[in-house]
Structure 1
Amino acid sequence: MPLDLSMFEGHAVNRSAAERRASTLSARRSVKKVYQAAWLVNAVRMIDLTTLSGDDTEGKVQRLCAKARQPIAPYIMDGLGLSDMDLTVGAVCVYPTMVPHAVKALKGTSIPVASVATGFPAGLIPLNLRLEEIKYAVGEGAGEIDIVINREMALKQEWNQLYDEIAAMREACGEAHLKAILATGELETLRNVYAASMVAMQAGADFIKTSTGKEGVNATLPVSLTMVRALRDYGDATGYQIGFKPAGGIKAAKEAIAWQVLMKEEMGREWLEPHLFRFGASSMLGDIERQLEHHVTGRYASSSRHAMS
């Protein structure tokens, strides 16, 4: 849609109120026993299993994809009574040069390959190069592209310029889904977070995402609440559903429940599905598997038993 400044300019965000509301999500909500296991299994379906390291190799990506295809050990699934469930993660996310390896390893499955692009994580390269990186990743088979916005434009509130850049990235993605990373830990205020969320959605983002995972401060519940309220307001105004992805610093299984509670209470049950909600939290999968094994056996296993890949 065209840029509409009236949807966010002058929109106040009360930080203390957002923090109070966010604190109730985990402090006043309790999910136990079989219900906890069900929420954790659902969280697995929405994980973008990710490797973004300088030492990534074809073999490492193959192991990650094997874990994506079977994220929970068969004996645990049997113990949960879910042996017939075709449980997979939401996507596998890699650097552009690793996309062909992931596509090959996931052949025959419905698991999409996502790729970071646009000079991830800083995004400080010329726009034409960022657009070429998107086209390269899509050409290699990526079905989802995680772009990073220009934080300078957001900090200087140059919303027209930011809109134009994201719209150009949206066009470069073609049929691939666009997930816009706001790097909220570097946006300074929740007002900027709300405004950047609105600009990204107006420019065509299919998802808005909190962080690259490389900032000093990554996904937090107050920031996520602000972004979720923005996508709710956007949906009320336009009728379009936009997805949400918290990423960075999410490691524990209990955090998976807290973020799902946020989506359930603010957006409804529909947003607890992979097409509208994802976690950027690969290390969390190991803890979820560990908690599910405890539910089945009554004993905690060493974390080394549940390696990510």
Structure 2
Amino acid sequence: MPLDLDWVRSVQANTSAIERRAATLPGRRSVKKEYQAAWLAKAITLIDLTTLAGDDTEGRVRRLCAKAKQPVSPAILEQLGLPDLTTGAVCVYHDMVPTAVEALSGSGIPVAAVSTGFPAGLSPFRLRIAEIGESVAAGAAEIDIVITRRHVLQGNWQALYDEMAEMRAACGEAHVKAILATGELGTLRNVARASLVCMMAGADFIKTSTGKESVNATLPVSLTMIRAIRAYRERTGFNVGYKPAGGISKAKDALVYLSLMKEELGDRWLQPDMFRFGASSLLGDIERQLEHFVTGSYSASWRHALA
């Protein structure tokens, strides 16, 4: 849709109220036994299983893809009645896209590529756009782009809109997730306004973080972005997805985020096309919890290593 600056500038964020609401979530939202196992199994289907390290190798990515296809031991999945459970996607740097596409062939699991000069997003703009095209051509079905933070910090909403719109166009049929790097935006009001502008410019998802900032996904930031998604849906009728990334490593954290999505946006946002976790170590802890549910015993964390 066209950029609506009146709408953007009218957006405010009551930080103290947001923080109070977020603080109530971990203590009040609790599920146990078979209900917890069901929610954790759902969480697995929403994970973008990720490796974004400078020392990534083809072997590591192939192991990650094998884990995406078989996220929990077959014996445990048989006990749960979920033998075909997989993660939502695998997320890698562009250089590893062909390896991931080959490893996931026939599985139905999409490959997501981080792009546009990830994580800082400060390479020449034409190169960022070209990088998107290269990743799409290599087989990436989803592109995680990073915005230019200074546009938000300077209140240059037209520049942010134009940048996002051009990146959206470069993605073609691929789904685009706009990474706001919320830990570097200064205020929750900036987060809310940046979320809205990216949605106006065509983002299929808005995402909290690259995972490389000092502060990544938090509940106050998530609540702010989710409320922006809700406001956008109410005014336009269009659904935009959400992806918290960075710092979500425990099964109990996943349950909190799922309860937040259900309460704020409803069951539609508990599906992989509307919600994802950007995570690497989260799956290991969920697997431990599911094994405990089935066997009654906790296993050592090293038994659930990803790579």
Same fold (TM over 0.5): yes
Report the 3-state secondary structure (helix = DSSP H, G, I; strand = E; otherwise coil) of the residue aligned with 1:138. helix
Deviation string 1:149-204 (CA, Å, 9 cap, x unpaired) is 00011100100001001101001101100000000000010000000000100001
1:57 and 2:57 matched: yes
What stretches of structure 2 of length at least 5 have no aligned partner? none
Contact 2:181 2:208 (8 Å CA) reproduced = yes
- Equivalent of 1:125 in 123, 144, 150: 123
1:30-69 equivalences under 5 Å are: 30-69=30-69
Letter in 2 for 1:135: G
Work out the number of aligned pairs and report it.
307
1:110-189 equivalences under 5 Å are: 110-189=108-187
Letter in 2 for 1:26: P
Contact 2:149 2:184 (8 Å CA) reproduced = yes
Report the 3-state secondary structure (helix = DSSP H, G, I; strand = E; otherwise coil) of the residue aligned with 1:244. strand
1:84-99 equivalences under 5 Å are: 86-99=84-97
User: What is the aligned partner in structure 1 of residue 301 from structure 2?
Assistant: 303
1:1-309 equivalences under 5 Å are: 1-83=1-83, 86-309=84-307
- Distance, in Å, in 2 between the alignment partners of 1:168 and 1:12 is 27
Report the 3-state secondary structure (helix = DSSP H, G, I; strand = E; otherwise coil) of the residue aligned with 1:8. helix
* TM-superposed deviation, 1:79: 2.4
Report the 3-state secondary structure (helix = DSSP H, G, I; strand = E; otherwise coil) of the residue aligned with 1:12. coil
Report the 3-state secondary structure (helix = DSSP H, G, I; strand = E; otherwise coil) of the residue aligned with 1:305. helix
* TM-superposed deviation, 1:266: 0.2
More divergent stretch after superposition (1-10 vs 111-120): 1-10
Deviation string 1:235-272 (CA, Å, 9 cap, x unpaired) is 11111000000000110000000000010000001110
* TM-superposed deviation, 1:281: 1.3
Report the 3-state secondary structure (helix = DSSP H, G, I; strand = E; otherwise coil) of the residue aligned with 1:54. coil
TM-score (norm 2): 0.99
Deviation string 1:31-87 (CA, Å, 9 cap, x unpaired) is 11110000000000000001111111111111000000010111111222333xx11
More divergent stretch after superposition (110-119 vs 6-15): 6-15
Letter in 2 for 1:301: S
Report the 3-state secondary structure (helix = DSSP H, G, I; strand = E; otherwise coil) of the residue aligned with 1:101. helix
Query: Which consecutive aligned stretches of 4+ in structure 1 deviate over 4 angstroms post-superposition?
Result: none
* TM-superposed deviation, 1:114: 0.4
- Distance, in Å, in 2 between the alignment partners of 1:30 and 1:101 is 39
Contact 2:284 2:301 (8 Å CA) reproduced = yes
* TM-superposed deviation, 1:282: 1.5
RMSD after superposition: 0.8
What stretches of structure 1 of length at least 5 have no aligned partner? none
- Distance, in Å, in 2 between the alignment partners of 1:12 and 1:122 is 26
- Distance, in Å, in 1 between the alignment partners of 2:57 and 2:81 is 36
- Distance, in Å, in 2 between the alignment partners of 1:146 and 1:34 is 34
